[in-house]
């Protein structure tokens, strides 16, 4: 896994309910109602500073992914985000979060590498390996805790016991656009120019998905597929 810029960015966990409401509102109106969003955040966090950080995280996420959200909007019935099934919404939440805060992608990849060989992983292993990428500073430790809390709420990672984690429920993309988003996130966050379809099964990111989307997605919105060796082909990003 390649090391990226040392930007961490995430300081507070975003409640999933708040994130989904913010995405839903943004898809309907094209903007974030910050006052409404802040009131929603305060149902989960009473602290002024922490609530402000969560609002900032959501604002950054929506801004960074505005082109992806526009493409998603074009595919929604009545612009209704909640028309999508739970699995697709969870995948979208996860991908947008990882694109905005790549440390989350790295944490998932580190867990994914471990889950290929063992059922349970101690958080100290993840902290140590994440520290090698981002530096073993306070900001990194905070980010690991907040990202992990977010992943646990989405049931992608489960707590087995104190400090011990195992894989949660696998996600299965129902829509072709969501399947593309899974691949788009992997290529973008891993700083790969392209990946072979045959390599998907070996990449730790795909541990979390019940079906490898590279074989079933109708590419064209986010990812392009070109043939290479017979029966294979490679995937690369489409400019969004």
In this prediction, residue 94 carries a pLDDT of: 98
Question: For 20-48, how does the pLDDT look when each residue is reduced to its tens digit (9 = 90+)?
Answer: 999 999 999 999 999 999 999 999 998 99
Q: Please tell me whether residue 142 adopts helix, strand or coil conformation.
A: helix
Q: Hey, what are 190's tokens?
A: 């891993």
Categorize the per-residue pLDDT at 213 as very low, low, confident or very high, splitting at 50, 70 and 90: low
- Percent of the chain having pLDDT more than 90? 72
Instruction: Kindly list the structural domains of the chain, giving each domain's residue range(s) and its CATH number in brackets, ordered by start.
Output: 102-167 (1.10.10), 176-237 (no CATH)
Of 54-58, 85-89, 164-168, 225-229, minimum mean pLDDT range: 225-229
| Mean pLDDT, residues 94-110 taken together | 97
- pLDDT-derived band of residue 225, with 50, 70 and 90 as boundaries? confident
In the prediction, which pLDDT does 37 show? 97
194-196 vs 157-161, strand pairing mode: unpaired
> If you average pLDDT over every residue of the chain, what do you get?
90
Choose the most confident range, by mean pLDDT, from 2-11, 84-93, 185-194, 211-220: 84-93
Tokens for 232?
């294979």
Q: What is the model's pTM? A: 0.92
Query: pLDDT at position 239, please?
Result: 77
H helix intervals, the chain:
16-29, 34-41, 48-64, 66-73, 86-100, 102-115, 123-134, 138-153, 176-189
The Cβ-side half-sphere exposure at 113, using a 13 Å CA radius, reads 10
Residues 6+ apart with CB under 8 A from 90: 154, 155, 156, 171
On the question of pLDDT at 2 being above 50, the answer is no
169-180 pLDDT, tens digit per residue, is: 999 998 889 999
């Amino acid at each position: 896994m390649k090391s990226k810029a040392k930007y961490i960015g995430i300081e507070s966990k975003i409640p999933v309910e708040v994130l989904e409401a913010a995405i839903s509102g943004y898809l309907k109106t094209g903007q974030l109602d910050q006052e409404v969003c802040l009131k929603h955040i305060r149902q989960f966090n009473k602290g002024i500073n922490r609530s402000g950080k969560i609002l900032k995280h959501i604002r950054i996420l929506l801004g960074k992914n505005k082109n992806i959200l526009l493409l998603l909007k074009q595919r929604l019935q009545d612009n209704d985000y909640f028309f999508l099934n739970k699995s697709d919404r969870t995948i979208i939440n996860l991908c947008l979060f990882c694109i905005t805060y790549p440390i989350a992608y790295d944490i998932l990849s580190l867990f994914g590498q471990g889950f290929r060989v063992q059922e349970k992983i101690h958080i100290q292993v993840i902290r140590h390996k994440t520290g090698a990428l981002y530096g073993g500073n306070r900001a990194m430790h905070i980010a690991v805790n907040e990202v992990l809390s977010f992943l646990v709420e989405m049931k992608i990672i489960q707590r087995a016991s104190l400090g011990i984690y195992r894989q949660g429920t696998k996600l299965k993309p129902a829509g072709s656009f969501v399947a593309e988003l899974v691949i788009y996130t992997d290529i973008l966050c891993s700083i790969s120019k392209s990946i072979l379809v045959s390599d998907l099964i070996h990449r730790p990111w795909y541990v979390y998905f019940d079906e490898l989307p590279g074989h079933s997605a109708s590419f064209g919105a986010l990812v392009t597929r070109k043939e290479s060796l017979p029966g294979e082909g490679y995937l690369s990003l489409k400019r969004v």
